Chains A and B, each alone.
Chain A
Amino acid sequence: MKDYVELWNRAMTDIELAVSKANFSTWFKDTYIIKIEEGVIFLGVPNPFIQQWLYKKFHNTILKSLRQIDTGTRALEYIILKEADRKKIVEKKAAPQQQSPTISMPLHDFYIDKDDNLNPRYVFDSFVVGPFNELAHAASKAVVKNPGSVYNPLFIYGNTGHGKTHLIQAIGNHIKKDFPQKKVFYLTSERFGSEYFSSLQTNSAQKFKEKYRKYDVIIMDDVQFFASKEKFQEELFHLFETFYQTNRQLVFSSDKHPNFIPGLEGRLKSRFVSGMIIDIPTPDQESKIAILKAKSMSNNIELTDEILNFLASNIESNVREIEGIINTIACQTQLKNHTLTVMEVKNLIKNSARPKKNISVKEVIKIITDFYNISEESIFDKTRKKDVVKPRQVIMYLLREDFSLSFPSIGEKLGGRDHTTVIHSCEKIREDLKTNSVLINEISQIRAML
């Protein structure tokens, strides 16, 4: 970058001598070298007038002076730069906007492309791949290579903040780049629903159908919101059939496996399942560190391994939370003007890190018995009815796993049971969790409530 500036400055001095002052200041103002590729210098210019005139009038002069400095220069190309890009290059700081007493409009979504609704920031390059999401990443890459033929539909599910939206938007952005003739469209299921609804109101259902059938790739986020909305599901089903039969790519994301989206019709479920279903689980420690590193790099702050480890083990799984903490650290680093120590970081994230659960055993029992719809007392009874045994085991498991109570104290708190009973229960749930997806779902719901 610095070399480019220097190269161009030297060339400019040369050019300044060769052309008149008026010409120089009109045509060479706001020009920069953007990049040099195999001897071809790409010069950024502010508008087409300057582009054409430089080419027509000064091309040889510029080329000559550039060659004198850099003999490897073969050719010169002119590129019109967007104002925003130009600003980035000169790093000019925009004057702070005048404080106006009139409230300004919340004009969001500046960077979203209107035609396809994709946010160009979401690309694979900025996606941190770790063991937890490498499968999802690989499948997405495969889809990009051959849209419509492998893994159709691609269904990605995982908890909030695990990078689903990033991944599926990256698919869109890359298909757009690699297959410019393909029309990509990204939308949330909520938007699909509301558009369908308003098309019914204005009697333009046919238009709505046509609109979606003209795309080659549709990416739909958060399909779980379709739960129990039969009309939308029916519409989605027809869209699905059209796409599937014509080999056009569909990508879905959801926070649950399709089988666990309540109120989802069987025919949609089976269609979701027919393609590729991938889970993005909670990031593991290494992945969290990788994400932290990537995020801190992009924020220009350096974190020691010690801090990274500390953060990774203290932040819950959510990547958004990681972003938030990195922002806080970046801000503090700037403020204090030195790299933060572990102690300082600890103090900082005191509030952001999820507070250690401050919830009594009694409350845990209450929540779980409520969840399974049984009476609280039955937990303490000696009864071995099936509908009580399971909740009791779940309570033991969660107390052990999430609250790290000792086996004997769990036993004692649940009606004076032996610690071996508790050990057995925990083992049993742990085993079941490996195969029983209903149980996995229940546990995650309970955890969310705690």
Chain B
Amino acid sequence: MKIECVQEKLRSAIGVSGKIAGKHMTLPVLSCLLLDASSKNSLVIRSTNLDLGIEISIPAKIQDSGIIAVPAQVLSSFVEGVNSDDSGVRLESDQNNLKILTTRSSGTIKTMPAEDFPTIPRVSEDNKFFLNGADFAKGLKSVWYSSSVSSIKPELSSIYIYCEDESIVFVATDSFRLAEKRVKIKKTKDFGQILIPFKNIPEIIRVLENINDEIEINLDKNQISFTYNNLYMVSRVVDGIFPDYKQIIPKSSTTEVVVLKQDLLNALKLSNIFSDKFKQINFKISIITKTCEIKTKNNDIGENITSLDAAITGEDIEINFNYKYIVDCFQSIDSDSVSIHFNGLNRPMIIKPVSDTSFRYLVMPMNR
């Protein structure tokens, strides 16, 4: 193989694909990037971890075609580090080595046999639709942390995506809390439902969030693919049914509290110092004194109470939650203030940004 390409393009392609290739215990070739220079004037870079696969092609001048597998870690660090003041970079394979030549630096990296590198599956185009990549990534980003990390129920360790009215709805839950985000879209065909394993989500977000343009998406029973210009990414999807989560979302509330987001966050952080091993936080809302108190107590450390300035309507309530489940949701809330809706003991609490109906977050209270 002997090719020449633009350094900047090579760097960004390797940057995106290199993250997917991970350490693979049993098959070392999976920690490689496959550089495929068999077509006329483009270099195709592939990587996969067998759950997610990506393929990026960049324009290149090809003198001798060839296919090689190069350890991703080494290649990406090298390409990242070389001086970028000149634009061309030459790649040459020499027996079991890859030579990278720029005007100033040159490097030789040991390669691995490329025959063992798997193909990236293609998805049939029977269910094809177009969505804005950045919007899609935003939806995923708003909910994915709520997924279940255990693999007992594959549906719950996935992000559930479906169309409703003129939005795409993203949902994730681990059965203790649930996040739902609606992203408005202009028009798309109803693609049914998608369950993407949450393990793959960070990579998908990273790739898609910079594409503020329509991307082509193909979906079949087992996988979903994203195509944009020179990029092709495919992920496994879960073939299952997400639980009917809407039935657990309370339609009304008995107590409603509106607070400044930053106030609440500060109070929560403070209280976390004294929380017990279950991270239990006590909320006490009193209508008469118009106060909302957050209290934690740990027999070994001490205790604290913080009271918040809040607008309160409804009934008195005293209820316990897990700190982690509450604090997680603030990464998806941009507004200055949030409203918290309680529904009585043993019933879920809902947190919503004020004046933004696109996001809601449900947390179940603690048992004791």
A interface, CB within 8 angstroms of B: 20-23, 25-26, 29, 47-53, 56-57, 80, 82-84, 94-95, 97, 100-115
Contact = CB atoms under 8 A, between A and B. Distances in A.
Given A47-B51, A49-B48, A83-B151, 7 more contacts: A48-B121, A52-B119, A84-B154, A103-B367, A107-B173, A107-B175, A109-B243
Main secondary structure of the interface of B (DSSP, over half): loop
Given A108-B244, A112-B244, A114-B241, A103 B366 contact: yes
B322 A102 contact: yes
B173 A84 contact: no
Interface string B146-161: 0000111111100000
A84 B247 CA distance: 24
A47 B221 CA distance: 11
Contacts of A100: 176
24 contacts: A22-B27, A22-B28, A23-B116, A25-B26, A47-B50, A47-B236, A48-B223, A48-B236, A50-B50, A82-B239, A83-B154, A95-B152, A100-B176, A102-B325, A102-B367, A105-B245, A105-B248, A105-B362, A105-B364, A107-B244, A109-B244, A109-B247, A113-B241, A114-B241
Of A25, A101, A111, most B-chain CB atoms within 10 Å: A101
B241 A110 contact: yes
Interface string B15-54: 0000000001011111000000000000000001011010
Interface in B343-368: 346, 348, 362, 364-368
A112 B193 CA distance: 14
B178 interface: yes
B48 A110 contact: no
A97 B153 CA distance: 11
B278 A101 contact: yes
A197 B114 CA distance: 63
A382 B367 CA distance: 65
Give the bracket for the number of chain B residues in contact with chain A: 35 or more
A107 B367 contact: no
B253 to A, nearest CB: 17
Given A103-B365, A112-B241, A26 B176 contact: no
B95 to A, nearest CB: 21
A105 B244 contact: no
Interface string B68-107: 0000000000000000000000000000000000000000
A49 B156 CA distance: 22
A177 to B, nearest CB: 16
Nearest to B155: A110
A97 B150 contact: yes
A49 B122 CA distance: 10
Contacts of B118: 49, 52-53, 57
Of B193, B238, B244, B365, most A-chain CB atoms within 10 Å: B244
Nearest to B276: A101
Nearest to B280: A101
Given A101-B322, A104-B364, A108-B247, A52 B150 contact: no
Nearest to A21: B26
Contacts, number: 119
A165 B120 CA distance: 45
B335 interface: no
A198 to B, nearest CB: 10
Contacts of A26: 24, 26-27, 30, 50
B240 interface: yes
A322 B89 CA distance: 76
B26 A22 contact: yes
A105 B366 contact: no
Given A26-B27, A51-B121, A103 B364 contact: yes
Interface in B50-68: 50-51, 53
A151 B52 CA distance: 50
Contacts of B150: 97
Interface of B: 24, 26-30, 48, 50-51, 53, 116, 118-121, 150-156, 173, 175-176, 178, 192-193, 221-223, 234, 236, 238-245, 247-248, 278, 280, 321-322, 325, 346, 348, 362, 364-368
A104 B28 CA distance: 41
A47 B51 CA distance: 8
Nearest to A82: B239
Contacts of A25: 26-27
A84 to B, nearest CB: 7
A104 B366 contact: no
Contacts of B28: 22
Contacts of A50: 50
Contacts of B240: 82, 84
Which 6 A-B pairs give the minimum distances between C-beta atoms? A107-B243, A26-B27, A25-B26, A48-B121, A53-B118, A109-B244
A80 B176 contact: no
A80 B175 contact: no
A56 B364 contact: no
Given A26-B27, A48-B223, A108-B243, A101 B121 contact: no
B42 to A, nearest CB: 22
Contacts of B119: 52-53, 56
Given A26-B27, A101-B368, A106-B248, A52 B121 contact: yes
A324 to B, nearest CB: 25
A305 B166 CA distance: 61
Contacts of B242: 114
B127 to A, nearest CB: 14
B210 to A, nearest CB: 25
A90 to B, nearest CB: 14
Contacts of A80: 221-222, 239
Contacts of B362: 105
Given A47-B222, A108-B243, A83 B50 contact: no
Contact of B175 (A22, A101, A105, A114): A105
A104 B119 CA distance: 41
A397 B173 CA distance: 58
B176 A104 contact: yes
Nearest to A49: B50
B193 A114 contact: yes
Of B29, B51, B367, B368, most A-chain CB atoms within 10 Å: B367
A392 B120 CA distance: 82
Nearest to B117: A53
B74 to A, nearest CB: 19
A25 B30 CA distance: 13
A278 B108 CA distance: 81
Nearest to A52: B121
Contacts of A52: 118-119, 121
Contacts of B238: 82-83
Contacts of A51: 121
Contacts of B367: 101-103
